[in-house]
């Protein structure tokens, strides 16, 4: 394999002499972390040579990949002078800064086709096929087009699509869409009913609005990592990303409802830091509750609200909030005398004796198996659950009863993969997964011909010019 690293927009060679069946490789503007991930993805590939253009970031990416594979770099290569013969045997990948994923009435998840700035998963699946099911989990039911917004034809096509759209959703750094001439102010002139939603690390305003961000940055900036006492490593679940998508969807629904009443579209601005701050209840109560300020981050605020070890070396969680639940729990574990203990007379008093109650409860749970405890608690209407292990989660009777398992898709190099079905259950409009994640540009003809009336010959010309 040979790699060429250039900046998006550079001409690699005379278009008339391009190798049939191949595209330009454009690993453009990869950040250090993304370059390192790419290098790891390529660890099993034999890389013969790396060519880097004069662009600083292309050269930096080449150095990172070259260091992993002990391959020298032909730096400052004038790639425009290469001819057709020079590209024989190259393994090409086309990765652009400006791709859009479009549905007839929805521009789908932000950045999912933008490798440098957004979801890099498609790149990873090229080198590790076992990541393909994950790509489908994140991108099922979508339609994919390719479109270069930096070219005049691409910009015009996007404007035409936006005229027909109900919603535009993007997650670029604020100002990027304005630079391309396709920001909300431009689009609303053509489509006053348009809902335009923008997700960014720090929102459209404020001193940090122009900074890039990912899930980890948002969780750190919103105090979530500190509140969760994550002192080493990273959070295990990217819930800043997931919750931002869900919150943006809610905002879009609110805007659509307003549009039904008023006929007007609007701009929806979501800052991931704002969202993390609003969810950080630990930081909020720390401001005005003495009990919160006086406890370190490893402590909890609620009594009888914890996980406990069991006899079979598993764990259960037990929760009591109401007085009746607390009384039932003390009765079940044989500690009725604690019901009348003045120190534990109500939930506020019990907040001063969290450790005492934890000791009492774990003294009971370590004498019983996990499933036995769960059944006893359920029989007595006490909130309880096993701490389900990851390898148990794909065979859960409740999830199965809810129809959450979709095993209808086949993937190369994977024996079996379960795709979570839609979470919301609608009585009149039930959802379903009808397709796997699309191939890059899979729906170009469907969208551009069906929506914009561009014929096959014109599409071929646009592809030759790398507009699509």
Contact 227, 283 (CB under 8 A): yes
Tokens describing residue 130? 């076992």
Q: What's the CA gap between 463 and 454, in Å, rounded?
A: 12
> DSSP secondary structure string, 255-275?
HHHHHHHHS--EEEEEEHHHH
Q: What's the CA gap between 120 and 109, in Å, rounded?
A: 13
Residues marked active site are found at: 8, 81
Q: What's the CA gap between 118 and 245, in Å, rounded?
A: 13
**Dihedral sign computed on CA atoms, order 403, 108, 260, 268:** positive
Query: Exposure string (b/e) for 307-341, b if CB count within 10 Å is 16 or more?
Result: ebebeeebbbebebeeeebbebbbebbebeebeee
The secondary element (H helix, E strand) that includes residue 196 is: strand 195-200
Contact 99, 385 (CB under 8 A): no
Pairing mode, strands 419-420 and 405-406: antiparallel
Angle, helices 152-164/444-452, rounded to nearest 10 degrees: 70
- The answer for residues whose C-beta is within 8 angstroms of residue 149's C-beta and 6 or more apart is 98, 100, 155, 158, 180, 182
How far apart, in Å, are the Cα atoms of 190 and each of 156, 175, 258, 357, 432?
12, 19, 19, 63, 33
């Amino acid at each position: 394999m040979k790699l060429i690293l250039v900046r998006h927009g550079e001409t690699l060679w005379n278009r008339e002499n391009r190798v049939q069946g191949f595209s330009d490789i454009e690993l453009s503007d990869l950040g250090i972390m993304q370059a390192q991930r790419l290098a790891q993805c390529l660890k099993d590939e034999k890389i013969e040579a790396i060519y880097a253009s004069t662009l600083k970031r292309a050269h930096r990416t080449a150095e990172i990949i070259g260091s992993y594979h002990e391959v020298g770099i032909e730096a400052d290569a004038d790639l425009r002078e290469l001819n057709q013969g020079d590209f024989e045997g190259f393994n090409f990948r086309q990765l652009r800064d400006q791709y859009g994923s479009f549905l007839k009435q929805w521009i789908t998840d932000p950045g999912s086709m933008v490798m440098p700035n957004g979801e890099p998963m498609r790149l990873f699946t090229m080198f590790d096929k076992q990541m393909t099911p994950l790509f489908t989990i994140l991108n099922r039911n979508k339609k994919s087009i390719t479109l270069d917004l930096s070219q005049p034809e691409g910009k015009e096509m996007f404007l035409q699509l936006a005229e027909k759209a109900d919603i535009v959703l993007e997650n670029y750094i604020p100002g990027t869409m304005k630079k391309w001439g396709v920001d909300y102010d431009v689009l609303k002139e053509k489509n006053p009913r348009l809902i335009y939603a923008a997700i960014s690390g720090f929102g459209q305003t404020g001193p940090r609005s122009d900074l890039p961000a990912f899930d980890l940055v948002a969780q750190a900036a919103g105090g979530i990592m500190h509140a969760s006492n994550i002192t080493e490593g990273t959070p295990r679940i990217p819930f800043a990303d997931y919750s931002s998508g869900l919150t943006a969807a809610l905002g879009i629904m609110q805007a659509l409802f307003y549009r039904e009443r008023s006929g007007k579209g609007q701009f929806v601005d979501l800052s991931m830091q704002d969202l993390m701050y609003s969810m950080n209840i630990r930081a909020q109560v720390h401001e005005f509750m003495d009990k919160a300020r006086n406890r370190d981050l490893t402590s909890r605020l609620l009594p009888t609200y914890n996980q406990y070890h069991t006899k079979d070396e598993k764990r259960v969680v037990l929760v009591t909030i109401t007085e009746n639940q607390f009384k039932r729990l003390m009765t079940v574990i044989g500690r009725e005398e604690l019901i009348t203990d003045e120190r534990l007379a109500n939930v506020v008093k019990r907040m001063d004796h969290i450790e005492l109650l934890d000791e009492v409860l774990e003294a009971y749970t370590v004498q019983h198996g996990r499933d036995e405890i769960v059944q006893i608690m359920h029989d007595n209407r006490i909130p309880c659950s096993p701490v389900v292990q990851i390898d148990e989660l794909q065979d859960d009777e409740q999830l199965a009863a809810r129809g959450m398992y979709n095993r209808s898709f086949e993937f190369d190099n994977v024996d079996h993969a379960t795709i979570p079905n839609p979470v919301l259950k609608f009585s009149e409009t039930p959802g379903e997964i009808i397709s796997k994640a699309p191939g890059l540009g899979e729906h170009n003809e469907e969208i551009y011909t069906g929506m914009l009336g561009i014929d096959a010959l014109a599409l071929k010309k646009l592809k030759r010019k790398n507009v699509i």
